[in-house]
Amino acid sequence: MRLSRSLLPTLKETPAEAQIVSHRLMLRAGLVRQTTSGIYAWLPAGYRVLSNIARIVREEQDAAGAQELLMPTIQSADLWRESGRYDGYGKEMLRIQDRHERELLYGPTNEEMITDLFRQSVHSYRALPQTVYHIQWKFRDEVRPRFGVMRGREFLMKDAYSFDIDHEGAVISYRRMMLAYMRTFQRLGLRAIPMAADTGPIGGDLSHEFIILAPTGESQVFYDAAFETIDYTGDAFDIRSEADLARFYTLMTTPYAATDEKHDAALFEKLDPARRREGRGIEVGHIFYFGTKYSRPMNFTVTGADGRKLHPEMGSYGIGVSRLVGAVIEASHDEAGIIWPDAIAPFRAAILNLKPGDAACDGLCEQLYARLGTAALYDDREERAGVKFADADLLGHPWQIIVGPRGAAAGRVELKRRANGAREEISPDAALAKLLGA
């Protein structure tokens, strides 16, 4: 993208309404704009980050054997009456009437709808287990939407649903999804810790929240540093092996980890002080096992191996895709702006033309831009160098290729790595090799 003709409205001043650093930076870097309370438009750079996060989430869901589908945002109230949740959900649910005065709602989650879809088509134990997911907008009329996309009213969620014929199978599905989550968060550059949690309006017997540490988190959390050194993405665990999943689950549930709701101070204090970790936490994912909580009232049965009808055992698994954009910024920024992990940056590199109109600068920048294509943001604006440096740092591109008149005449550029500030003067080809190879 050429910055001179991009919808990338950076702000020098800090917007007054933003209380936390990620919200401030998202507004200042021109990633989002609020359209009405708790509802945001994703501008081009922000939308690229959101899409990159969704892509990583999708790859790990697919690798775990989950099938992607897409359910609508608008649902019928009748489905929710069947499960008994329609009245209980309260004011958080946005209720809508159509022209025929039929009651609809904007979905806050999809347990009822997926149970309905399965009961229409799946009738035998032979078709199970199955896990499906979608990445879709949700609406929850939060009393206090705040912190930008972290607690919005409309937000993007990945929600997955598993169906098994018995408890043992459901436990395996739950563990498999937990491993997929740890891999997803690690690829996003985050250290998320699974913590036993309350189940709230989703219900059920077993549930874990995935928490990352950030000073602006909404709850106090406590955990054992043992979590910090585990590598989930290598080949330590085969996601198809039940034995590996059992070993992985023991590793996730043995060391101490709890939010303030479930904290046991006496137990935590038994831990070697060097291993005690405590701080504020942001919930980026939440998984639930709830057995037949929906399949029973909604009358979803399949024929079991013995010919008898049974209610499938279910779980549901959420990741806050739009919340993660804020969470990654909370975890990765400095005074100058965002520091994107390579995997999700909106652009891999910014090309900074320090003297538009200078033939050597323009020529070299155009060449670099042609080679990098959509991976680059080309700052071709008629602006002072200082403004370009500040905006590039604010937007947090992993790399900056700085092209000034003296360097351009000598066939050199300056390559800067945003994460550590390292700079070097090299040839344009060497710069490209470095940033495309890394």
Is residue 325 close enough to count as binding ligand 5CA by CB under 6 A?
A: no
Task: Tell me which of 163, 317, 340, 347 binds ligand 5CA, using CB under 6 A.
Answer: 317
CB of 406 to ligand 5CA, least distance (A): 48
Q: Which is nearer to ligand 5CA, 198 or 425 (CB)?
A: 198
Per-residue x/- marks for ligand 5CA, 235-274, CB under 6 A? ----------------------------------------
Residue 139 in contact with ligand 5CA, rule: CB under 6 A? no
Does 194 contact ligand 5CA by CB under 6 A? no
* 142 near ligand 5CA, judged by CB under 6 A: yes
The reply to whether 185 sits near ligand 5CA by the rule CB under 6 A is: no
Size of the site for ligand 5CA (CB under 6 A): 20
Q: Which of 285, 291, 312, 428 binds ligand 5CA (CB under 6 A)?
A: 285
Q: Does 217 contact ligand 5CA by CB under 6 A?
A: no
Q: Which stretch binds ligand 5CA (CB under 6 A): 123-131, 153-161, 344-352, 407-415?
A: 153-161
Secondary structure of the chain in the HEC alphabet?
CEHHHCCCCCCCCCCCCCCCHHHHHHHHCCCEEEEECCEEEECHHHHHHHHHHHHHHHHHHHHCCCEECCCCCEEEHHHHHHHCCCCCCHHHCEEEECCCCCEEEECCCCHHHHHHHHHHHCCEHHHCCEEEEEEEEEECCCCCCECHHHECCEEEEEEEEEEECCHHHHHHHHHHHHHHHHHHHHHCCCCCEEEECCCHHHCCCEEEEEEEECCCCCEEEEEEHHHHHCCCCCCCCCCCCHHHHHHHHHHHHCCCEEEHHHCCHHHHHCCCHHHEEEEEEEEEEEEEEEECCCCCCCCCCEECCCCCEECCEEEEEEEEHHHHHHHHHHHCEECCEECCCCCCCCCCEEEEECCCCCHHHHHHHHHHHHHHHHHEEEECCCCCHHHHHHHHHHHCCCEEEEECHHHHHCCCEEEEECCCCCEEEECHHHHHHHHHHC
Position 106 contacts ligand 5CA (CB under 6 A) = no
157 part of the interface to ligand 5CA, by CB under 6 A: yes
Q: Does residue 388 bind ligand 5CA (CB under 6 A)?
A: no
Q: Enumerate binding residues for ligand 5CA (CB under 6 A).
A: 109, 140, 142, 151-152, 155, 157, 159, 202, 283-286, 288, 316-318, 320, 322-323
